[in-house]
Amino acid sequence: MSSTVLSAPDVAPRRLTPLLVLGGLTMALAASVVVGLFSGAVSLTPGQVGTALVAWLSGSEASDPMLAVITAIRLPRLLLAVLVGSVLAVAGAAMQGLFRNPLADPGLIGVSSGAGLGAVSVIVLGNWLPFLNGPLALPLAAALGGLLATIIVYRLGQSAGATDVATLLLAGIAINAIAGAGTGLLTYFSNDSELRSLTFWLMGSVAGSGWQQLLLAAPFMLVCGLALCLLGRPLNAFLLGEDVALHLGYPVERIKAVTVLLCGVAVGAAVSMTGVIGFVGLVVPHVVRLIIGADHRLLLPASALLGGAGLVVADTAARTLVSPAELPIGILTTLLGGPFFLFLLLQNRYRQ
């Protein structure tokens, strides 16, 4: 483990003040949302976008269906991208801190693959089991799968009232493999149209959401995301080791349970809306850490802001690059984030 990636907060003092960092990232997020609001398959002038927003805010129906595109399609989609990006990134940062492992991300404890299995079950088995149908069946099954996987992994990681982080990690890997095999088995039984559908679902997309779905999942993501942002102090103590954290007076076991559950619920809700979007949870926290250091009080909210902005940018690219078709967003997050992350990593090595 490189000392820069997970150094204790005081070891690497930075010149950037917290206010500057959070202010700058908030501006970046706002800018990405504005750009996203003005771009799309339907080309609208800034004036039209303004008219649509004003009409919507004042509660009147937009007369022109082209203006309704802004409020019925673009706005809920942007908000979903902000929420999902933030939640994935902050959960990734919290997991890396909790496990003191730079490779940890929400996918590691089985949330993503559990949710994936839930969703694929609905897509494939819906043909035979009528109760698995309906517009909310897929998100509910995905959220349930994610939560279930999290609980199983967490229970497996517990022995004699204490959580063994190494066992937790290994249990996560095993649950991932089992859920992956279940998904594979269902893939085997699927027909062509189901196969196409589930392949695209597993690559992720924020396209499916209107207000109804957004309002369903948003409370879970908002509450858990904000709660995760408040875990800065205890996670800083964890960086020094669990024993030290315990001696400093932190309720170590409760913090572990709360963090894992918050991540499970938040990411489960996110994945249920968008499918599996990889990379954000892993890389965004590292990028933030390379810029501002490992103080979780700043790292957690900064990761949330950068994750939200990043996913909005990726989604804007996904829906405009090959319009009227659409690219799976998971491909873009990796294509945009991967090289950038490598660049930061190499630069950091030169500096040493």
Partner 1 sequence: MPIVLMWVLLACAWAVHADGALDTQRVVVAGGGLTATLYALGVEDHIVAVDSSSRWPPATAEKPQVGYMRALTAEGVLSLSPTLVLASGEAGPASVLHLIEAAGVPVRQLPAPRSAADVRTTIHTLARLFERPARGCELIEHLDAALAQARDIVAGYDEHPRVLFVLSADGQLLTAGRDTAAHAMIELAGGRNITDYTGYKPLTPEAAVELAPDVILTGDHVIVAMGSRQALLAKPALALTPAGRHGRLLVMDSLRLLGFGPRLGETVARLARQLHEQP
Residues at the site binding partner 1, with contacts judged by CB under 8 A: 40-42, 65-66, 68-69, 72-74, 76-77, 119, 122-123, 126-127, 130, 133-135, 137-138, 188, 191-194, 196-198, 200-201, 205, 207-208, 210, 212, 274-275, 319, 322-326, 328
Lookup result for tokens 């490189």: 2
Nearer to partner 1, 63 or 348 (CB): 63
Least CB distance from residue 154 to partner 1, whole Å?
28
Distance in Å, CB of 29 to partner 1, minimum:
22
CB of 77 to partner 1, least distance (A): 8
The separation between CA 315 and the C-alpha centre of its own chain, rounded to angstroms, equals: 13
Sign of CA dihedral 183, 118, 153, 337: positive
The distance of Cα 303 from the centroid of its chain, to the nearest Å, equals: 11
Q: Is the Cβ of residue 23 or residue 46 nearer to partner 1 in the bound state?
A: 46
Which of residues 166 and 185 has its CB atom nearest to partner 1 in the complex?
185
Which residue has tokens 């997970």? 6
Shortest reach from residue 184's CB to partner 1, in Å: 13
Residue placing its CB nearer to partner 1 in the complex, 190 or 303: 190
Phi-psi region of 160 (alpha: psi -120 to 50; beta: other; left: phi over 0): left
Residue 163: φ, ψ to 5°: -100, 125
The number of CA neighbours under 13 Å toward the Cβ of 258 is: 17
Distance CA 32, CA 327 (A): 19
Closest CB to partner 1 among residues 207, 248: 207
Cis amide linkage into residue 13, ω under 30° from 0: no
72 DSSP assignment: I
The answer to whether the beta carbons of residues 277 and 88 sit under 8 Å apart is yes
Minimum separation from the CB atom of position 198 to partner 1 (A): 8
- What is the amino acid identity at position 159? S
CB-hemisphere CA count at 13 Å for 54?
A: 6
* Residue 164 Cβ vs partner 1, minimum distance, rounded to whole Å: 37
- Whichever of 195 and 344 has its CB closer to partner 1, that residue is 195
* Shortest distance in whole angstroms from residue 326 CB to partner 1: 4
For partner 1, the closer of residues 157 and 275 by Cβ is 275
CB 81 within 8 A of CB 206: yes
